[in-house]
């Protein structure tokens, strides 16, 4: 890996592409989004990319109890590792990369990749780097106890190189504790846990060398506001945690400078928590809104989530007051927005959840009413938007009509008419086709469809992926709406 170049190299950990069409943010899909990462193999030539994404992953929750051994060997570093390691996982998989040949033509080569992740929810949700799982056909996760499972890619954010995957589990898994990156100090001791070059559960120690680093990856991508550390980070560390001496994650390891020693980078945990909360929220099967404007603060070693304002006129939660602190949702402790979104993950519009808030020295149980995201237009108005932008008329169908394709599908929208010359007609959609998802979201109702059409992610996608059932077969169709009519 030594080179005269001082470029930052992205270390892909292990990418994932599904063989079957996948709906990101559709927990039902077996496939996973793609992530760039550096593979640890005997040949490192393919690792020399413009930027090396190594690893840094986030986790949430409670992990294994730290040791109470009074021996002087039980140092703060040992205690921090023991507190966090049960929530750190190793990720492995294969993908195809294009390598340059002697005649200048590109050739496909299968490579073995590896990375790291952190368990953020006892149900098996894991955060890692996108470059770790991007284009990987089979994501194999090894837990700290040696057990293995195959993960599905649920959601991802290419701008921050973060992704969320999920493994099946019959028991609650240990999760990591989140610290804060708001009070980090240069010279502060930090610890990285990861899977460098396939050496599982490797621990390295260092200090925070600098803060607020902006690191260009290539001509189109740049990491912002990173933590710089001299804790050893290598290919395979991508998506793993950077810990403080309390065993709390304060960063996600993501990149290393090629040709240098002791220059690695991590995504600050405060930034990562917000991105992860968005990934969870947008992965729900049906878009919902809770109407809470929240802010996270970190004081005296503890995090709390408070109501910042109450200006949402649509909110039905009128009993809440500014500065109320969210204590729990359905009995689950809440200290940041990620935990709140995870607590609401399996709920639907129209449901209420039990919430406890702290106000002054008192605590109050209050119901939190959930509403459908984007349900502000009449069905006829939504139908006109769909006709103008995509060129179809649709009618909802029940889950039974699509369950034979995927039992997790909650329904779909059957096309009843197609406008001649429309984007749908150009892509040869036909009446009778059932749209079960667009991009990362299921399309169960017209309200779902309106929310998707208004989403900035949909508007910027060119084209967007539509998941369609036709005669008991699932198809993926790329379609660009008529931009002049996208509002």
**Arithmetic mean of pLDDT, 416-435:** 92
Backbone Cα Rg of the chain: 23
Residue 73's alpha-carbon distances to 79, 242, 274, 352, 432, in angstroms, are: 10, 22, 37, 50, 69
φ, ψ at 277 (rounded to 5°): -60, -40
CATH superfamily, domain 284-372, is PDZ domain (2.30.42.10)
Pairwise CA distance, residues 48 & 395, whole Å: 51
Partners of 303 in the β-ladder: 298
Query: Which residues, at least 6 apart from 459, have a Cβ–Cβ distance to it below 8 Å?
Result: 486
Residue with more model confidence, 266 or 47: 266
Q: How many CB atoms within 10 Å of residue 321?
A: 11
Largest Cα–Cα distance in the chain?
A: 78
Judge contact between 417 and 424, C-beta under 8 A: no
Judge contact between 317 and 366, C-beta under 8 A: yes
pLDDT at 125: 96
Judge contact between 400 and 427, C-beta under 8 A: no
| Cα 98 off chain centre by | 26
pTM over 0.75: no
Nearest in space to 114 (alpha carbons), one of 97, 127, 131: 131
pLDDT at 381: 83
- Is pLDDT above 50 for 95? yes
Pairwise CA distance, residues 110 & 217, whole Å: 23
Residue 245: cis peptide before it, omega within 30 degrees of 0: no
**Arithmetic mean of pLDDT, 263-274:** 94
Pairwise CA distance, residues 221 & 129, whole Å: 15
Name the residue with tokens 């840094």. 56
Pairwise CA distance, residues 246 & 106, whole Å: 48
Pairwise CA distance, residues 365 & 397, whole Å: 38
Enumerate the active-site residues: 131, 161, 238
Domain boundary assignment for the chain: 1-268, 284-372, 379-485
Confidence of residue 225 (pLDDT cuts 50, 70, 90): very high
- CA quadruple 22, 26, 27, 28: dihedral, nearest 10: -60
pLDDT at 151: 94
**Arithmetic mean of pLDDT, 446-460:** 77
Predicted confidence (pLDDT) per residue in 322-377, tens digit: 889 999 999 999 999 999 999 998 888 888 899 999 998 999 999 998 877 655 56
Nearest in space to 231 (alpha carbons), one of 276, 183, 196: 196
Burial class (CB in 10 A: 0-12, 13-18, 19+), 197: middle
Query: Which CATH code of 3.40.50.2000, 1.10.8.350, 3.40.50.1580, 2.40.10.120 fits the domain covering 1-268?
Result: 2.40.10.120
Architecture, CATH, for domain 379-485: Roll (2.30)
Write out the H or E segment, with its range, that includes residue 365.
strand 362-369
Confidence of residue 49 (pLDDT cuts 50, 70, 90): very low
pLDDT at 486: 42
Confidence of residue 380 (pLDDT cuts 50, 70, 90): confident
Q: Do domains 1-268 and 284-372 have the same CATH topology?
A: no
Judge contact between 227 and 19, C-beta under 8 A: no
Write out the H or E segment, with its range, that includes residue 430.
none
């Amino acid at each position: 890996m030594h080179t005269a170049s001082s470029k930052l190299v992205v270390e892909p950990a292990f990418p994932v592409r599904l063989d079957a069409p996948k709906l990101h943010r559709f927990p039902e899909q077996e496939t996973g989004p793609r992530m760039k990462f550096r593979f640890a193999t005997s040949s490192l030539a393919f690792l020399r990319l413009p930027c090396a994404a190594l690893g840094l992953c986030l986790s949430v929750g409670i992990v294994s109890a730290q040791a109470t051994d009074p021996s002087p060997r039980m140092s703060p570093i040992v205690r921090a590792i023991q507190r966090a390691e049960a929530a750190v996982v190793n990720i492995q998989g294969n993908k195809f990369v294009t390598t340059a040949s002697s005649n200048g033509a590109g050739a496909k080569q299968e490579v073995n990749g590896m990375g790291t992740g952190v368990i953020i929810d006892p149900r098996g949700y894991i955060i890692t780097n996108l470059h770790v799982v991007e284009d990987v056909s089979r994501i194999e996760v090894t837990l700290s106890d040696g057990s293995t499972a195959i993960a599905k890619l649920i959601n991802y954010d290419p701008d921050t190189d973060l992704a969320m995957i999920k493994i099946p589990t019959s028991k609650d898994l240990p999760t990591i504790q989140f610290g804060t990156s708001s009070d980090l100090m240069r010279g502060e001791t930090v610890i990285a846990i990861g899977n460098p070059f396939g050496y599982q559960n490797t621990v390295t120690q260092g200090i925070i060398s600098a803060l607020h680093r902006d690191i260009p990856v290539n001509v189109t991508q740049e990491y912002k506001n990173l933590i710089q550390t001299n804790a050893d980070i290598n290919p395979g560390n991508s998506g793993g945690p950077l810990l403080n001496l309390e065993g709390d994650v304060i960063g996600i390891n993501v990149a290393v400078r090629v040709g240098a020693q002791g220059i690695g980078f991590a995504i600050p945990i405060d930034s990562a928590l917000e991105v992860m909360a968005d990934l969870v929220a947008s992965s729900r099967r049906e878009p919902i809104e809770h109407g809470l404007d929240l802010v996270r603060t970190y004081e005296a070693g503890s995090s709390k989530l408070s109501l910042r304002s109450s200006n949402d006129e649509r909110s039905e939660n009128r009993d809440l007051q500014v500065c109320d602190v969210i204590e729990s949702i359905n009995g689950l402790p809440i200290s940041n927005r990620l935990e709140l979104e995870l607590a609401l993950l399996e709920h639907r519009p129209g449901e209420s959840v039990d919430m406890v808030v702290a106000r002054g020295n008192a605590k109050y149980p209050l119901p939190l009413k959930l509403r459908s995201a984007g349900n502000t237009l009449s069905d006829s108005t939504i139908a006109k938007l769909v006709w103008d932008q995509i060129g179809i008329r649709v009618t909802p169908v029940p889950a039974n009509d699509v369950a034979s394709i995927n039992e997790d599908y909650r329904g779909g929208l059957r096309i009843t008419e197609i406008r001649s010359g429309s984007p749908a007609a150009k892509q040869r959609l036909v009446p009778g086709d059932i749209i079960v998802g667009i991009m990362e979201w299921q399309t169960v109702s017209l309200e779902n469809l309106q929310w998707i059409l208004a989403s900035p992610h949909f508007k910027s996608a060119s084209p967007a992926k539509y998941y369609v059932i036709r005669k008991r077969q699932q198809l993926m169709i790329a379609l660009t709406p008529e931009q002049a009519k996208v509002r």
